[in-house]
Amino acid sequence: MRSENYSSSKVNTLSGSQDKYILKSKVGMTFNSFEEREMFYKKYAKEMGFVDRRHTTRLDKETRDNIYQSLVCSKEGLLGTKAPRQDGQPQRKRAIIKEDCMVYMKLHKNDDGKWFVKKFEESIVMLL
């Protein structure tokens, strides 16, 4: 990863007592490999306080190589409702894990094999 492709900015923590540097991604940022971009997003997610997951992957029709990847917050989306069970038994109550977190990074693969950030959203909406 080239250092000119990303930046860090100084922010205050919630307690206000310590300063912290957080990686910032931007549209057009490039990565040399699949692993490099994934390591960057995992580090970014950890610094921002969320867990990442892969959302969408597209493969080339001819070569079956990965050409598009969407990485999101693990709490992306909203919890849907399930149909009642057929046997009449009550369903077990589960913890709500979806909080409509809107953080995502959409990456495309160039013809030269490098990955670049096509879209990036860093707004975090989480219930504390």
> Does the residue 6 lie in any domain?
no
Domain of residue 126, residue span: 21-78+96-128
Residues 6+ apart with CB under 8 A from 113: none
Average pLDDT of the chain to the nearest whole number: 73
What's the predicted TM-score (pTM) here? 0.60
pLDDT for 123:
66
Q: What is the distance between the terminal CA atoms of the chain, rounded to a whole angstrom?
A: 33
> Does the residue 28 lie in any domain?
yes
Residues 22/43, Cβ–Cβ less than 8 Å = no
> Does the residue 67 lie in any domain?
yes
pLDDT for 114:
92
> Does the residue 3 lie in any domain?
no
Does residue 9 or residue 31 have the better pLDDT?
31
pLDDT for 120:
83
> Does the residue 2 lie in any domain?
no
Residue range 99-120: average pLDDT?
A: 85
SS3 category, 24 = strand
Q: Name the domain count of the chain.
A: 1
> Does the residue 90 lie in any domain?
no
> Does the residue 56 lie in any domain?
yes
> Does the residue 86 lie in any domain?
no
What's 17's DSSP letter? S
pLDDT digits (tens, 9 = 90+) for 39-96: 888 888 888 777 777 888 888 899 988 888 888 887 766 666 667 777 878 777 776 6
